[in-house]
Amino acid sequence: MHQSPTPRLLLALAITLLAVAVFSWFSLRQVDVLRQLQSNTIDRHRKDSLQLLRIQNNLNSLGHSLRDMLTGETGYPLAAYRGELQRMRLDLEDALHIEDSLAPRSPEQRQYLTNSIAQFWRSVDQVFEIADSGDEQRARRMIANSLQAQQAALTVTVARLLVANNESEEQAASAIQAIYAQVERNIYLLLAVVVIGILLSSSSVIYYNRQIFNQLENLSEQRSTLARQLIGVQEDVLRSLSRELHDEFGQILTAIGTMLGRAERAGLATDSPLRRDISEVREIVQETLEKIRSLSQTLHPTVLDDYGLDKAIERFVPMFEKQTGIQVDYAKEGVGEVPEGSAIHVYRIFQEALNNVARHSKSKTAEVRMRYQGDRLSLEVEDQGVGLPENGGRKGLGLVAMRERAELLKGTLTFHRSAAGGTKVHLEVPLS
């Protein structure tokens, strides 16, 4: 007994789903890393670079102001620059505060930048103190010797920070591209795994379907063989019963009738009550004999064995009309010979079709058309009755037996419901 393929197919499906889940989780993790890298690194570096550019711009403005203070070309005293530098100092401190919250630097770098800025502004305060004391020449020398050098050093430091930020952004961009490439490879790998899983599952399904179809084919062959044997046994039994009825009981009833005839002629008076009783018994015996012969022909027509299918059908039609009162229009076209093994099956299908007309159609007429078309035989039985149920109805054993016989003949049997009502049974079988 073959095992069911369902557990293996479910296992293959579970493995495929697990692979999809693992690759999906891994890809989502990489996407999350990508999102964090983009938000925590690139965006922060971009904002940090903007603040560094702001700081660099302030330092450049300080450089221009120190140059003007040193040259004195504007004609203003040094104290006049106090407000301008104070505004720059506030903006620079705000930019440094924002930049300090964004830049991922070491404590030493933070301390160095803070100390350098603080030292610069202490020097600026000393310059203004000296200028306020009236010694602007000394203040200008301090600008030339100290402040400009400190401003240049701060500018260089900020420029280096900008370069470091750009390098970090490039590294982050390279990491992002690598993650994108890895995600793309994962997607292709996932598709490959899914396709392989589908191919394996499909191959397994095809393999087991082929096994199932082979089993069904074997069962169908066994069923056909069994049906052929059962039908053969049935025909043998019916033939035996038919012969017993025709030969044994028929001869017995014929002998009884003959003996009653002799008894009737044995000097009995014409008006004798015994003569009348004997005559009635003879009539009953004769009717019984006719019924037995009719039943014998119904069970198995001897004319089919002796003269073939055509004569058997021609003999059955008037007997059917007499028994049922249904008028049958029989037409035959062409000439052919049905093999002996096939004739009984065609006859049984024809017999069952007419019996169904009598039992179910409620029709008073029927048409039987038999045509020999080369190496094929076509037989149609049509009535003008109530027709087949629209939903197919319940299929009786008679219809099942008709289909079984048609399959044994390697032929086709169809049932049609006409638009005007009625049913047509069409049988077509090969004669070879």
For every residue of 114-141, DSSP letters joined together read: HHHHHHHHHHHHHHHHHHHTT-HHHHHH
- 10 within domain boundaries: yes
Give buried/exposed letters for 198-209 (b at 16+ CB in 10 A, else e): eeebeeeeeebe
- Tens-digit pLDDT profile for residues 38-67: 666 667 777 878 888 888 898 898 888 888
- 278 within domain boundaries: no
Which of 39, 26, 402 shows the shortest CA–CA distance to 231? Answer: 402
Q: Does residue 427 carry a pLDDT above 90?
A: yes
Give the pLDDT confidence score for residue 331 in this predicted structure: 92
- Tens-digit pLDDT profile for residues 370-424: 999 888 999 999 888 887 665 554 466 778 888 888 888 889 999 888 766 788 8
Same domain membership, residue 199 and residue 54: yes
- 154 within domain boundaries: yes
- Tens-digit pLDDT profile for residues 277-297: 777 887 887 888 777 777 776
Give the pLDDT confidence score for residue 5 in this predicted structure: 63
Among 204, 237, 261, give the residue marking a domain's end: 204
The strand ranges marked E within 276-402 are 327-333, 365-373, 376-383
Among 176, 204, 232, give the residue marking a domain's end: 204
Same domain membership, residue 422 and residue 316: yes
- 415 within domain boundaries: yes
- Tens-digit pLDDT profile for residues 170-216: 887 787 778 778 777 877 887 787 788 778 777 877 887 888 888 88
Give the pLDDT confidence score for residue 379 in this predicted structure: 92
Per-range mean pLDDT, top range of 157-171, 293-307, 324-338: 324-338
Q: Does residue 342 carry a pLDDT above 70?
A: yes
- 262 within domain boundaries: no
Q: What is the largest CA-CA distance in the chain?
A: 188
- CATH number of the domain residue 92 falls in: 1.20.120.1730
Give the pLDDT confidence score for residue 37 in this predicted structure: 64
Which of 109, 110, 141, 99 shows the shortest CA–CA distance to 123? Answer: 141
Q: How many domains does the chain have?
A: 2
Among 204, 234, 261, give the residue marking a domain's end: 204
- Tens-digit pLDDT profile for residues 220-268: 787 777 777 777 777 677 777 767 776 677 778 777 878 777 776 766 6
- 54 within domain boundaries: yes
Same domain membership, residue 127 and residue 17: yes
- Tens-digit pLDDT profile for residues 79-131: 888 888 889 889 988 888 888 787 767 778 778 888 888 898 898 889 888 88
- Is 323 within 8 Å of 363 (Cβ atoms)? no
Same domain membership, residue 305 and residue 196: no
- CATH number of the domain residue 401 falls in: 3.30.565.10
Same domain membership, residue 174 and residue 27: yes
Q: Does residue 1 carry a pLDDT above 50?
A: no
Instruction: Give the residue ranges of DSSP H helices in 249-301.
Output: 250-264, 273-299
Give the pLDDT confidence score for residue 329 in this predicted structure: 92
**What number is the average pLDDT over the span 72-83?**
82
Same domain membership, residue 145 and residue 25: yes
Same domain membership, residue 193 and residue 313: no
- 209 within domain boundaries: no
Give the pLDDT confidence score for residue 39 in this predicted structure: 62
Domain region containing 138: 6-204
For residues 61 and 130, give the distance between their C-alpha atoms in angstroms, rounded to a whole number. 22
Q: 4 pLDDT band (50/70/90 cuts)?
A: low
Q: Does residue 351 carry a pLDDT above 80?
A: yes
Roughly how many angstroms between the first and final C-alpha of the chain, as a whole number? 39
Q: Does residue 369 carry a pLDDT above 80?
A: yes
- 322 within domain boundaries: yes
